[in-house]
Amino acid sequence: MVKEYIELQVKMCNRHLKDAGIHPLLGYVGLAALFLGLSVYLFQSTEFAPYIYLLFALSLIGNLSEKRRSEFLRICFGDSRMKKIRICENVMASVPFLAFLLYQQLFVYVALLVALVILMALSQFKTAFQCTLWTPFSKSPFEFTVGFRNTFYLFIMAYALAILAVVQNNFNLGIFALLIVFTTCLFYHTKAENEYYVWSFHLKPRAFLLRKIKTALLYSTLLALPIALLLSYFFYPNMGIILLFLVLAWAFLISMVVSKYSEYPNEIYLAPSILLALCLWFPPLLLIFIPYYFKKSEHRLSRLLK
């Protein structure tokens, strides 16, 4: 039964990738390359990388231990099988982190991560607060309101890393903290909302897109501003690099917004995903990408917004 459940989860992941227009093998290779690149960058940036790495791993794996999810598995499979499934899930989810820690020969952290993921598999906790978490955003731009409440701990971690970068005089770690903030904001725009939320704006397509872009830039900058100011003050000679990263982050945020609505109400498909990946390697392509998908998004939204 455990084997069949794991196979079902793999098939569901493959189906999600195919629905997004991405071949599963290509998707897994891309994710593996991205994971490896970020891992190498992190370990080259700071001596505290093992601790940050463990925190990342446990944050991601912790979502699998959500109480309602565990209760559902217990109802379907019984208590004994549920625990076996949870252990298998956690171990499989931690394999990339374990493999990289082994490569770094950090055997103590490998043992610690294995122990923690097994302990988390046997535990249940709620991943959301019972009370409503305050956000610095209004209720209208739901991407940031909902996204912030689900990922607020990432911003706390990013701010802590920025402070650590100043203490350790490590500029690269500060830039990494800045990237955490903007990458988190990028993911707020990957999921297509219900058509009613678009129609309710009562705006023309161009005005709607400009408003979405303005909101994304304003609120992402608000979240990144403490880190940017901190780095600008303590690493003043690197002000130009900080501004360059901010401009690139804004450009990628705009590209994510327009690519999202270019396929609306569907998820982002293969073509814009590949082009966005190419833009990572050659950012000037954004000068072509953004206008093209802005026009395409206008056309796509014209049936809802007139």
Q: Which of 178, 123, 120 is nearest to 154 (CA)?
A: 178
Q: Which of 264, 247, 276 is nearest to 303 (CA)?
A: 264
Place of tokens 């990144």: 224
CA-based radius of gyration for the chain = 21
pLDDT category, 126, cuts 50, 70, 90?
very low
Q: Give the whole-number percent of the chain exceeding pLDDT 90.
A: 11
**Are 185 and 220 a contacting pair, CB within 8 Å?**
yes
Structure-derived torsion over alpha carbons of residues 24, 25, 27, 28, reported in degrees to the nearest 10: 110
Rounded distance, CA 14 to CA 33, Å? 18
**Are 177 and 162 a contacting pair, CB within 8 Å?**
yes
| Number of CB atoms found within 10 A of residue 259's CB | 25
Helix (H, G, I), strand (E, B) or coil at 66: strand
pLDDT reading at 82 higher than 90:
no
Check: pTM over 0.95? Answer yes or no: no
Rounded distance, CA 58 to CA 63, Å? 9
pLDDT category, 274, cuts 50, 70, 90?
low
Helix (H, G, I), strand (E, B) or coil at 258: helix
Rounded distance, CA 222 to CA 215, Å? 10
pLDDT of residue 123: 66
Six token digits for residue 202: 């009562």
**Are 49 and 176 a contacting pair, CB within 8 Å?**
no
pLDDT tens profile 10-62: 888 888 777 666 778 877 887 788 788 878 877 887 777 887 788 778 777 77
pLDDT reading at 127 higher than 70:
no
Place of tokens 């903030």: 181
Task: Compute the mean pLDDT over every residue in the chain, rounded to the nearest whole number.
Answer: 80
For residue 66, the cross-strand partners are 125
The 8-class DSSP code of residue 21 comes to T
Q: Which of 267, 224, 268, 260 is nearest to 242 (CA)?
A: 224
